[in-house]
Amino acid sequence: MDDLFATHDALAVADLIRARKLGAKELLDATKTSLRKANERLNAITDFYEDTSPPADGPFHGVPYVIKQLMADCAGHPTTLGSKFFATTPVAPADSAAVSRMRRAGLVIVGRTNTSEFGLAPTTEPAFRGPTINPWRPDLSPGGSSGGSAAIVAARALPMAHATDGGGSIRIPASLCGLFGLKPSRGRVSLAPIGETLAGAGAQHCVSISVRDSAALLDAVAGGEPGDPYRAPPVERTFLDATKRAPGKLRVAFMRQAMGQGPLDPVLVDAIERTARLLEGLGHHVEEASPAYDAAGLDAAFWRVMCANTWTNIQLRAAGRVPGPDDLEPVTRLYAERGRAVTADDYIRSVQTFHRTGRQLGAFFERYDVLLSTTIARTSLPLGTVRMDGSAEPFEQAVAPMTAFTAVCNAAGVPAMSVPLEWTEDGLPIGLHFVGRFGAEEMLYALAAQLELACPWRHRRPS
Alpha-carbon gap, residue 44 to 64, rounded angstroms: 15
Alpha-carbon gap, residue 152 to 130, rounded angstroms: 15
Pairing label, strands 180-183, 251-254: unpaired
Alpha-carbon gap, residue 107 to 42, rounded angstroms: 23
Pair 39, 190: CB distance under 8 Å: no
Per annotation, catalytic residue among 34, 68, 149, 214: 68
User: Is 145 part of the annotated catalytic residue set?
Assistant: yes
Pair 417, 449: CB distance under 8 Å: no
Residue 140 in 3-state DSSP? strand
Pair 16, 22: CB distance under 8 Å: yes
Alpha-carbon gap, residue 329 to 342, rounded angstroms: 20
Task: Give the helix/strand (H/E) hosting 1.
Answer: none
What single DSSP character describes residue 64? E
Alpha-carbon gap, residue 299 to 304, rounded angstroms: 9
Per annotation, catalytic residue among 83, 145, 185, 373: 145
Task: Give the helix/strand (H/E) hosting 39.
Answer: helix 24-42
Per annotation, catalytic residue among 34, 146, 149, 169: 169
Q: How far is CA 447 from CA 206, 243, 248, 251, 456, in A?
A: 18, 8, 9, 12, 13
User: Is 244 part of the annotated catalytic residue set?
Assistant: no
The angle subtended at Cα 248 by Cα 245 and Cα 249, nearest 5°, is 155
User: Is 169 part of the annotated catalytic residue set?
Assistant: yes
Task: Give the helix/strand (H/E) hosting 68.
Answer: strand 64-68
Distance of CA 412 to the CA centre of its chain: 16
Q: DSSP string spanning 273-342?
A: HHHHHHHHHTT-EEEE------HHHHHHHHHHHHHHHHHHHHHHHHTT----TTSS-HHHHHHHHHHHH-
Q: DSSP string spanning 176-223?
A: HHT-EEEEPPTTSB--TTS--STTTT-EEEEEESSHHHHHHHHHHH-B
Active site residues: 68, 145, 169
